[in-house]
Amino acid sequence: MYRHAKYKRTVVVPAVKLIQRVYRGHVGRKQYRRLQHQHFVDKIQRPAAIQMERVARGYLGRLVAKQRRKQLVAALVIQDTFRKYKARRRWAFVCQVRFENRMASRIGAAGRGYLARQVYKREVRKIRVRTVVVPAARTIQRVYRGFVVRKHLEEFRDQVEAAKAGERTVWRASIDRIKSHAALTVQCLVRSYFARLRVEAERAKQRGRHGQAAVVVQSAWRSYFNRKTVQSMRELMAIEVYARKFTTLKDNLEMVQFDMADTMGDIAYMTKHRKKSLQQIHDLKQMRELSNMTGQDIARGWQTAFETEKLVIHFSMLLSAEEIQSKKQQIREYDAEIATLDAEYEDLERDVDESLLQETSLMEDYRRLELHRASSQYLDHAKQSIRRQRLRWKVRTNRSNLVLREAAALAR
């Protein structure tokens, strides 16, 4: 028992105390470390994190604001560029329309002139063929036929002479027979030659009679065809004149409309600046009324701030009167300019009415011309149809010749 108590007193109790002391030290150190960590988090880490977050948010906000400012500037630049592009495209379209109209008129005039020159050249070629080429061909044919006949005669004469020479050298005994035979041959050839000449003369006379009739018929047909061609060309020239007049009226009307649009734009511009000048005069008058306020008005008003504002207005009043006079002078100038533009716009409206009236009258004249052409073409077609029908159903008779002979007998 004594040993157990001594063991407990000398071993167990000191060991327990040591364990308790160590455990309490461990718990204390653990609490101290927790408090130290809490103090580090509260005093250092959290403020540092808050500071870093604030700095990061400020940086990100500045980046966003800078980006937005850049986007705004880029949007303004893009809008300004696009508006300028639209204005250039609009003006380029107007210039292109005017240029196309002018080029269409010039191309039409060049085409019509080319067609007229081609028609004239074709007529000149026909006249040259009729007056130069055909007579020259006939002359060449006549000369060539004479040359061929003379050539044949010369060849025949050469053959006869050669035959005679051979006969004289080889067959002297049969000279008389050969001479007589050659004489007969020559006579036959000469007779056939003169017979051919007579036949050719008769044929030429007959061809001359038929050719004269053909020439008369061709002359009548060419005269008729030329008259029809000239009539059609006159009609085409009249149509071309109307087309040029319509084109001129259209160009004038477009120019007047463009001038009207410019005038309306100038009127709107002058009216806008006139309203702006009136607003500025109204603001200057209000400033003059503020400068004339009394101390009571000041006491009831803004007090110190109002006194400062009144002092600024007082020193700016020296320029306000001159500005009001200049603005009034500008308004009078704007009124005079607007009146001038209104008169010009009325003149342009009258020009538009006159152009429309001229276009209507030209359209009526052109309609009458087309009606006249249609009626003349219908009459020509009807006459041709009647003529063809008469030729188709005509009965052969000599009644017309009898009537002509009776008329000639009565005339004698």
**Nearest alpha-carbon partner for 338 in 389, 388, 268, 395:** 268
Q: Answer whether 308's CB lies under 8 Å from 355's CB.
A: no
- Could you read off the pLDDT of 52-102 as tens digits, one per residue? 888 888 899 899 999 999 999 999 999 999 999 998 999 989 988 888 888
State if pTM tops 0.85: no
Structure-token pair, residue 31? 């609490």
The pLDDT of residue 312: 45
Higher-confidence position of 90 and 238: 90
Mean pLDDT for 4-32 is: 84
| Alpha helices, DSSP H, located in 292-303 | 295-300
The average confidence (pLDDT) of the chain is 79
Mean pLDDT for 6-26 is: 84
% helix / strand / coil in the chain, to the nearest 5? 95, 0, 5
Lowest mean pLDDT across 148-162, 201-215, 266-280: 201-215
The pLDDT of residue 292: 56
CA 13-16-18 angle, to 5 degrees, is: 110
DSSP SS3 for 140: helix
CA distance linking residue 376 with residue 383, whole number of Å: 11
Mean pLDDT for 316-328 is: 62
pLDDT band of 315, cuts 50, 70, 90: very low
